[in-house]
């Protein structure tokens, strides 16, 4: 053994005047940061094991615990920051890729926070959503070039559409990366709310088939759990090309997370690593994508819209144009702040572009080419609150995907240790004693509450703008003004500066 240069990230503080030695913290920390010293009849803690997930802090009945940043300082250095140096110590010790979870924590600009919304004054009346009707219903799917009406009826059938009671869906998280209780919570919430959750690439567990009409089933590069019953179980099919947190790379679910249920759902042997290749090995061009889109449509009788999900990367607008022309009904774009159950740290923190810019660029491009009606746009990658949603829709999205916010509602504390499989909140884990910490009944209530609260806020703000239907906001960039942005950024976003 050689000397490890790793020092703790966090400091566990216990107020001994309040600690009643009940050992709830000991039982709740899966990282074993707390222990019971039977001889001293006292709790002890090991700072180095703490990941700052707040499980013990929240559960301690006497509020005796607090976690702080470990106070150890290096000599001040703006270039060699503590996290940069510690990463080197870690890699020098392990020789491995640095792994992480959730979305990037780097201080990149958040364009949502540099966009301001409009409100009605004098010349156009604002609307009170409590007294007047306010429509948030959203239809996702290909819209025809024109509507022909014969005898008061549509002459041609509309292409298949997804009907959402509010423009928010839960984005893809696979059973395997998250626990079954998370999937159950979100599926139930989607049903209550009249929206959709997404299976991710983990297949559909048998307990979840009953939520089929609120399910989007995903087909990803590993093709886990894909069979005819699966494709037909959902309301739409999503082809996953990329993910915002790790564009260009695949996925890897370690064998230890592949228990009986995951193995049956994914149709792979128990304890085997589930590796999703970086590319789909049958897609090397837009023509290949067309083929997969239509194979899936054929397999489901042309009854379900097909979504193609990509990560926001440099050429995103050209790629989106190709996807629209390839026959997708909906394009989902995932920004670089999007979450993940596990990703290489360097990829997460440096690859991809912000969703705000990607969305504006894609919407502008599709309009210029006259094909915006052919696809609906759904964006995700760190939608944090109701105004992010309104701004996204004003920039050109039809609806948003949320995942990190939904997990926060379920208890996630953003410790970024999802990849360890020891999530103390029962979310990113398959360990049965941890999974049962998330009661799906409570989870469904909390996720429903969050979206209901956002729904109220969206209505309130729409009313303030004098708009009574969310569809009238879609792409209405005049409702936005930029603040603190360069001309170039304003140009890409297609918005005026505040005061203009």
Residues in touch with ligand SF4 (CB under 6 A):
12, 14, 19-25, 28-29, 31, 33-34, 43, 50-57, 60, 62, 64-65, 67, 101-102, 407, 412-418, 423-425, 427-428
> How crowded is residue 146: how many other Cβ atoms within 10 Å of its Cβ?
7
Minimum CB distance to ligand SF4, residue 414 (Å): 5
Choosing from 20, 158, 478, 483, the residue that interacts with other proteins (CB under 8 A) is: 20
User: How far apart are the C-alpha atoms of 274 and 255, rounded to whole Å?
Assistant: 7
Minimum CB distance to other proteins, residue 67 (Å): 18
Choosing from 59, 110, 371, 490, the residue that interacts with other proteins (CB under 8 A) is: 59
Residue closer to other proteins, measured from CB, 355 or 410: 410
Q: What, of other proteins, ligand SF4, none, does residue 337 touch, CB below 5 to 8 Å by kind?
A: none
User: How far apart are the C-alpha atoms of 150 and 148, rounded to whole Å?
Assistant: 7
Give me the residues paired with residue 378 across strands.
Answer: 332, 399
Minimum CB distance to other proteins, residue 199 (Å): 22
User: How far apart are the C-alpha atoms of 198 and 187, rounded to whole Å?
Assistant: 8
Rg (CA), the chain: 24
Q: Is 448 in the site for other proteins (CB under 8 A)?
A: no
Q: Is 436 in the site for other proteins (CB under 8 A)?
A: yes
Choosing from 433, 449, 453, 486, the residue that interacts with other proteins (CB under 8 A) is: 433
Name the one residue in this structure whose structure tokens are 């599926």: 187
Residue closer to ligand SF4, measured from CB, 13 or 156: 13
Instruction: Give DSSP secondary structure letters for 45-65.
Output: E-GGG-----HHHHH-TT--E
Choosing from 61, 109, 159, 269, the residue that interacts with other proteins (CB under 8 A) is: 61
Is-contact 43 25, C-beta < 8 A? yes
Burial (CB count <10 Å: 0-12, 13-18, 19+), residue 17: exposed
Name the one residue in this structure whose structure tokens are 């995951």: 262
Is-contact 143 374, C-beta < 8 A? yes
Minimum CB distance to other proteins, residue 61 (Å): 5
Minimum CB distance to other proteins, residue 72 (Å): 32
In 3-state terms the chain splits into helix, strand, coil percentages (rounded to 5) of 35, 15, 45
* Distances from the Cα of 473 to the Cα of 327, 458, 486, angstroms: 25, 11, 25
Q: What, of other proteins, ligand SF4, none, does residue 416 touch, CB below 5 to 8 Å by kind?
A: ligand SF4
Residue closer to ligand SF4, measured from CB, 397 or 415: 415
* Helix extents (H) in 152-213: 180-193
Residue closer to ligand SF4, measured from CB, 182 or 236: 182
Residue closer to ligand SF4, measured from CB, 434 or 480: 434
Q: Is 42 in the site for other proteins (CB under 8 A)?
A: no
Residue closer to other proteins, measured from CB, 34 or 297: 34
Q: What, of ligand SF4, other proteins, none, does residue 313 touch, CB below 5 to 8 Å by kind?
A: none
Choosing from 4, 6, 62, 77, the residue that interacts with other proteins (CB under 8 A) is: 62
Residue 127 structure tokens: 């609307």
- The SS3 call for residue 369 is coil
Chain residues that interact with other proteins, rule: CB under 8 A: 17-18, 20-24, 27-28, 59, 61-62, 431-433, 436-437, 439, 441-442
């Amino acid at each position: 053994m050689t000397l490890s240069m790793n020092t703790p990230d966090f400091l566990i503080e216990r107020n001994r005047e309040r600690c009643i030695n009940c050992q709830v913290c000991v039982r709740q920390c899966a990282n074993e940061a707390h222990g019971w010293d039977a001889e001293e009849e006292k709790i002890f803690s090991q700072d180095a094991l703490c990941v700052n997930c707040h499980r013990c802090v929240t559960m301690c009945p006497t509020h005796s615990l607090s976690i702080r940043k470990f106070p150890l300082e290096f000599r001040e250095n703006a270039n060699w920051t503590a996290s940069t140096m510690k990463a080197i110590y870690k890699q020098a010790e392990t020789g491995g890729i640095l792994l992480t979870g959730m979305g990037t924590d780097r201080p990149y600009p958040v364009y949502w926070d540099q966009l301001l919304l409009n409100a009605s004054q004098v010349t156009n009346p604002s609307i009170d959503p409590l007294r007047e009707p306010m429509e948030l219903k959203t239809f996702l799917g290909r819209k025809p070039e024109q509507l022909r009406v014969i005898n008061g009826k549509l002459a041609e059938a509309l292409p298949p559409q997804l009907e959402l009671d509010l423009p928010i869906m839960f984005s893809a998280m696979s059973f395997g990366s998250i626990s079954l209780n998370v999937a159950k919570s979100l599926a139930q919430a989607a049903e209550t709310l009249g929206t959709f959750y997404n299976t991710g690439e983990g297949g559909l567990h048998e307990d979840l088939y009953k939520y089929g009409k609120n399910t989007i089933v995903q087909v990803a590069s590993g093709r886990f759990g894909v069979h005819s019953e699966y494709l037909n179980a959902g309301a739409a099919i999503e082809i996953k090309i990329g993910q915002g947190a790790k564009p260009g790379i695949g996925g890897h679910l370690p064998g230890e997370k592949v228990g009986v249920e995951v193995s049956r759902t994914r149709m792979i042997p128990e304890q085997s690593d589930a590796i999703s290749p970086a590319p789909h090995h049958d897609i090397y061009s837009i023509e290949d994508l067309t083929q997969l889109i239509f194979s899936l449509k054929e397999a489901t009788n042309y009854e379900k819209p097909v979504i193609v999900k990509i990560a926001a990367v440099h050429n995103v607008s050209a790629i989106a144009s190709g996807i629209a022309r390839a026959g997708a009904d909906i394009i989902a774009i995932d920004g670089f702040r999007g979450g993940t159950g596990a990703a290489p740290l360097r990829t997460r923190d440096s690859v991809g572009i912000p969703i705000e810019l990607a969305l504006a660029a894609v919407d502008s491009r599709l309009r210029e080419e006259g094909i915006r009606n052919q696809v609906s746009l759904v964006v995700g990658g760190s939608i944090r609150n109701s105004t992010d949603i309104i701004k996204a829709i004003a920039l050109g999205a039809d609806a948003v995907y949320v995942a990190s916010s939904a997990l926060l509602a379920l208890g996630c504390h953003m410790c970024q240790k999802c990849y360890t499989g020891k999530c103390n909140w029962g979310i990113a884990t398959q360990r049965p004693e941890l999974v049962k910490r998330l009661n799906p009944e409570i989870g469904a209530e909390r996720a429903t509450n969050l979206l209901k609260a956002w729904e109220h806020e969206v209505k309130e703000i729409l009313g303030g703008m004098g708009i009574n239907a969310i569809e009238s906001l879609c792409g209405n960039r005049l409702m936005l003004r930029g603040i603190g942005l360069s001309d170039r950024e304003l140009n890409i976003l297609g918005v005026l500066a505040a005061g203009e």
